[in-house]
Structure 1
Amino acid sequence: VNKSFEEFVADIKSKLNLATIRVVKGCDFIKTAALCTGSGSELISNLKADCFLSGDFKYHTALQSYENSLSLIDINHFESERYFGESLALNLQKFKVFATITNSINPFEYR
């Protein structure tokens, strides 16, 4: 990645077209980032990254990450999965694998 935390957050917001995201600034500079679609907080203990992007982070997870200098970007559960099907379809087509991929709808409203 090789960006400041602030620059990386701005890029994520822009590229995923998100009005707001929750963040935990555990470090000032991001060299490596990890991503898990959905809710990936249970994977934190195995990460070797400066920043973790996922959804549904809980308060105590965020606090522990901050204390361990791991930055978090909570892009919400649905939003973290929004582009996965399309990306997977492109890769499956390369290998001529047939699959039916459907996207769910977000049941939450943001006001």
Structure 2
Amino acid sequence: MKTATCPRCHQPVNSQAVTCPYCGTQLKAYGHPGIPLHRANGVDYLCDSCTYHNDDSCNFPQRPYAQECTLYENFAEHELELQQLTQAKNFSITFRNWVRHNQTLLLLLGLLFICFAIALSMS
């Protein structure tokens, strides 16, 4: 059983629970038990750090003063994920370019390896 923590009473609860069994706080979106309900901490608004508010694609009626939202996506976390994805792509592109520019060297190394393998098998 996966557990989560209730944002109000901080008790461990089943991650599939719709409401907290201890304090009754709603944990999932009303009528949609598979969708998590994100809550703001204290007096802050979720919109202040949300990707959808930042790029002006949010159509949530409580915007920009939403304290709860099902579509919330943290802008800083999203940027970090994009940065990591870009770095991973950059490595693969760099490696492919290196191979493309050093095909002759790789061919010679391959031939040397084959010659070495043949020499070892004959001895």
**TM-based fold match above 0.5:** no
Structure 1 length-normalised TM: 0.22
Q: State the structure with more CA Rg.
A: 2
Instruction: Indicate the structure with greater helix content.
Output: 2
Structure with larger RCO (C-alpha < 8 A, sep 6+) = 1
